[in-house]
Homo-oligomer: A and B are copies of this chain.
Amino acid sequence: MGRRSDHSREELQELIVDATLSLVREHGADRVTARRIAQAVGYTPGMLYSVFVNLQDIFLHVNQLGLFTLHKQCTQAIEGNSDPGAAIKAMGRAYLRFAAEHTHQFDLMFTRTELPAAPTATSLKHQIHSLFDLVETQLRILKPGASDKELTLAARALWSGVHGTAALRLSNQLYLDESEADRDIVELLVNNFLISWQR
């Protein structure tokens, strides 16, 4: 068939990204193919390339969505925590929860990225930055006298710890019997770090 115009260009884009997200969450990025996405939205594979450049391009948009909801869940975790340390730990738990609930999506977002020197889209770059900012804001409350450099570094350190925990747990490389051990690890890590950092 020729022009259908059942959907506008933007509707089509949203349709594709949403379908891809569902497929990724259910089957993992490896098993999500152009043909499967096309089938899910009721078109043929060729059509995808009139809306997106690439399969990678589609995944990139999926990841923008992912970072957005991750950011939202982190801000929600902060709410109601007047203590910055508690807020940071709550963020860490939200991060772990996201990774645990949406294993495949988290995998696509953070480990299925291109190497090396991923030319991460500037949009993604900003989204990740704003995640860092959430931590920095709490740290600044905790230690008002800290320099920008100090804050930046500390936020990266904490973020690295939380991310590392999530990543290792995801790939089953923590080797701990208890299923909730990752929460204990983050708690321990953040607590001990902050105690000696804030002063």
Q: Which residues of A contact B (CB under 8 A)?
A: 28, 103-104, 107, 110-113, 115-118, 120, 125, 128-129, 132, 152-154, 156-157, 159-165, 167-168, 170-176, 181, 184-186, 188-189, 191-197
Contacts and interface: CB of A to CB of B under 8 A. Distances in A.
A160 B168 CA distance: 7
Contacts of A164: 159-165, 167
B115 A104 contact: yes
A157 B188 contact: yes
Contacts of A195: 192, 196
Contacts of A132: 175
Given A103-B115, A192-B197, 5 more contacts: A103-B116, A128-B173, A128-B175, A154-B188, A161-B164
Contacts of A116: 28, 103-104, 170, 172
A173 B120 contact: yes
Contacts of A176: 152, 156
Contact of A192 (B165, B171, B193): B193
Contacts of A156: 165, 168, 174, 176, 181, 185
Residue among A129, A152, A157, A197 with the most chain B CB within 10 A?
A: A157
A113 B111 CA distance: 9
A35 to B, nearest CB: 20
B104 A172 contact: no
